[in-house]
Amino acid sequence: MAPWRKHSVGRVSRPQFQWIVICFGVLLSFANNSSGYFYSDSSAEASNDRFCFCQLQGTIDDCSCSVDTVDYYNNVKIYPRLKSLLVKDFFRYYKVHLNKDCPFWVDDSKCAMRFCHVEHCEEKDIPPGLKGDASSYHKYIKEVQTLTNCNEDLDVELGYLNTSISDKAHKEFQRWADYDEAQDNFCILDDHEPGAEYVDLLLNPERYTGYRGESARRIWSSIYLENCFQAHSVKKKNAYSAMIPYQDMARNEVCLEHRVFYRMISGLHSSINIHLCANYLLSEKGSLGFMAPTGVWGPNMEEFERRFSPHMTDNEGSHWLRNLYFAYLVELRALAKAAPYLRNEEYFTGLEKDDREVKTAVKDLLTVIEGFPSHFNETAMFSGGTSSIKIKHEFREKFMNISKIMDCVGCDKCRLWGKLQVQGMGTALKILFSGKFDDKIDEGFDTRLKQQSPSLRLKRGEIVALFNAFGRLSTSIHELEEFRQRMR
């Protein structure tokens, strides 16, 4: 310190001062690198990338909407409403079959970590209105089947009409109806199957459980390599070529329908990764050093950078984040399109006060969603004549296949949220592309008529999945802003 005390700054020569500044900058750089938040790249551009790769700007691909518009509309208007709505009983209890075998490969690599386990509901906790057979559309009443007022003027033999229908015939009729309805579905619905149980989503939040390795990689590899439409330029089967490179998208080497499919899957993947980074298992021990019953959870900045930074993703990470916004806009549009239908739902749980509050909250949310200025335009898709029919069929079959892959996830909690979010996205696709929701519904539409209409039909599980899946995308955009704030 002595030399610094002898000389004032004014007496240091210009070359000496420049070297001091340079050396100080180098030392500061090494200090920052030792924290683990910077990668070993000495260029100024690389340092800026760390702060900028998740700071997205401009329009969203294949949409007319900007990132800034979505950020404001979601974080200020939509996310707070969804956050208070999805804790209500109608949306927190989701019926799902978590014990189905993987239909594609033999895999017994179950996650052994305690945080992979799903806490099931006790019977007493399930709202009374959900315990009945809510999935049945037709209830055959014996009194309706019996003819009690015959016209005596008609010949008894010639005028006789047998109105009795056997239980076997009724089951066949239901099978026909289920088959017809399934043609509009984009995912598997298994809440009616034996073995399906109600799960309280609030007891089983989506977060990083430690499930990783070959089993987890196989899920996403199968989704991208076998079910996404691949670009012609994709030849290698590595981690990045499994996903369509952004340059192929930018050069329009992939048609609109294929781009939409890929961007939705990529957006879902990004959303899940953000949830895992924002709710990461930091430690299994509490502050006192003992094993914590629930673990210690919180945001993991290094994991977020590993999954999205340009250095770790071959410069694709920011494009994956943009796909999150695209998936959000697709599901936002589905909710807006089905808004008249959803306003007429009763959201019945048997708890009158809660049901009334939920219905009011849903109407308020739908009004906000309908007011969004730049909705995704689904009418531009599947409009190319005969060829578009084939593409639409492939689109539906591939997404149906992805919903089956969710039964191959080795972590029960990951399987739960994977199935729910894929089903929610599949329900959005059903609304947008089945043609059943294209006609506007009168606001005074009679609920009883709606229940009988074959062209307007969503099961409770589909509605719960639709809102919760959109809630996950909304939460991801909100958490992405929080990551930006921390990185600044």
Residue 225 lies in a domain: yes
Mean pLDDT value across the chain? 78
Per-residue buried b or exposed e for 412-425, using 16+ beta carbons within 10 Å of the residue's own CB: bbbbbbbbbbbbbb
- State which residues form the domain around 286: 53-124+183-230+238-437+457-487
Compute the distance between CA of residue 109 and CA of residue 153 in angstroms, rounded to an integer: 73
Confidence label for 373 from pLDDT (cuts 50, 70 and 90): very high
**189 burial type by CB count under 10 A (0-12 exposed, 13-18 middle, 19+ buried):** buried
Largest interatomic CA distance in the chain = 127
- Counting every residue, how long is the chain? 488
Q: Return left, alpha or beta for 295; rule: phi > 0 is left, psi -120 to 50 is alpha, else beta.
A: left
Catalytic-role residue among 54, 63, 116, 411: 411
Q: H or E element: which one contains 138?
A: none
**Cα–Cα distances in angstroms (integers) from residue 278 to residues 297, 304, 450, in the given order:** 9, 8, 41
Q: Are 309 and 46 in contact (CB under 8 A)?
A: no
Span 1-17, average pLDDT = 44
Residue 17 lies in a domain: no
DSSP string, 283-336: EEE-TTSSEEEEEEEE--HHHHHHHHSTTTTTT-HHHHHHHHHHHHHHHHHHHH
Res 141: pLDDT: 33
Is the per-residue pLDDT at 150 higher than 90? no
User: At residue 247, what is the residue type?
Assistant: Q
Compute the distance between CA of residue 300 and CA of residue 450 in angstroms, rounded to an integer: 47
Residue 136 lies in a domain: no
Is the per-residue pLDDT at 234 higher than 50? no
Residue 142 lies in a domain: no
Is the per-residue pLDDT at 328 higher than 50? yes
**Model confidence pLDDT, tens digit, residues 264-276:** 999 999 999 999 9
* Percent of the chain residues past pLDDT 90, beyond the cut: 46
Residue 2 lies in a domain: no
Q: Is 411 a catalytic residue?
A: yes
Residue 19 lies in a domain: no
User: At residue 45, what is the residue type?
Assistant: E
Q: How many structural domains does the chain have? A: 1
Bridge partner list, 59: 66
Is the per-residue pLDDT at 147 higher than 70? no
Annotated binding-site members: 207, 209, 220, 266, 269, 307
Res 166: pLDDT: 73
Is the per-residue pLDDT at 445 higher than 70? no
Annotated binding-site members for FAD: 207, 209, 220, 266, 269, 307
Residue 93 lies in a domain: yes
**Model confidence pLDDT, tens digit, residues 22-61:** 444 433 333 333 333 223 333 434 444 455 677 888 889 8
Is the per-residue pLDDT at 84 higher than 90? yes
* Helix, strand, or coil (residue 96): strand
Q: Are 271 and 325 in contact (CB under 8 A)?
A: no
Residue 346 lies in a domain: yes
